Amino acid sequence: MPAPAITLRRLGPTEIPLMRGLNALFGEAFAEPETYGAQPPGDLYLADLLGKDHVIALAALTDETVVGGLVAYELDKFERARREVYVYDLAVTATHRRRGIARALLEHLRDIARERGAWVVYVQADYGDDPAIALYESLGRREDVLHFDIDVKA
């Protein structure tokens, strides 16, 4: 029996259950269930967020089950009249990896970015995450940078 087809969908304000499923997937994939599930935002917050043009949530679905997805943010720039799209989270369930789902999500995001007038899509990877690094290198050019989290609490 062939594997069920995967469909990609940009989530909108009425698709809160799918967004919750995507957050659960992120929590599992990143081994951070507390971060992604301990204090979930309310439905109104999620609906508002999913309704914003600059917030892009893509889900990879088998039937109506989330098996992968990404969240990205469009950033307007000051140095030129242009935009960048930053991939904040990207994951695929362990049972659906190595099937081209992450690549398909990034290609779909690239199409959205192009339609929105963005000049680049960028993503970070952790050292040691060789599959992600190989995927990103196959799609674009690598820049080695340092990333810093600056706490906003004094």
Query: Which position has the higher pLDDT, 27 or 126?
Result: 27
Domain locations along the chain: 6-139
Q: Which positions ≥6 away from 124 have C-beta within 8 Å?
A: 87, 147
Q: Which positions ≥6 away from 88 have C-beta within 8 Å?
A: 70, 71, 72, 73
pTM greater than 0.85 = yes
Do the beta carbons of residue 85 and residue 74 sit within 8 Å?
yes
Average predicted confidence (pLDDT) for the chain: 90
Task: Determine the Cα–Cα distance for residues 107 and 101; give it in Å rounded to an integer.
Answer: 10
| pLDDT digit string, tens, across residues 96-121 | 999 999 999 999 999 999 999 999 99
Judged against a pLDDT cut of 80, whether residue 132 lies above it is answered with: no
Give the per-residue pLDDT at 38: 93
How is residue 32 annotated by DSSP? -
What does the H/E/C string look like for 70-100? EEEEEEECCCCCCEEEEEEEEEECHHHCCCC
Of the candidate CATH numbers 2.40.30.10, 3.40.630.30, 3.40.50.2000, 2.60.120.260, the domain formed by 6-139 belongs to 3.40.630.30
Give the per-residue pLDDT at 128: 78
Residues β-bridged to residue 62: 6, 65
Helix (H, G, I), strand (E, B) or coil at 27: helix
Do the beta carbons of residue 67 and residue 61 sit within 8 Å?
yes
Give the per-residue pLDDT at 87: 94
Q: Is 101 exposed, middle or buried (0-12, 13-18, 19+ CB in 10 A)?
A: buried
| pLDDT digit string, tens, across residues 73-85 | 999 999 988 899 9
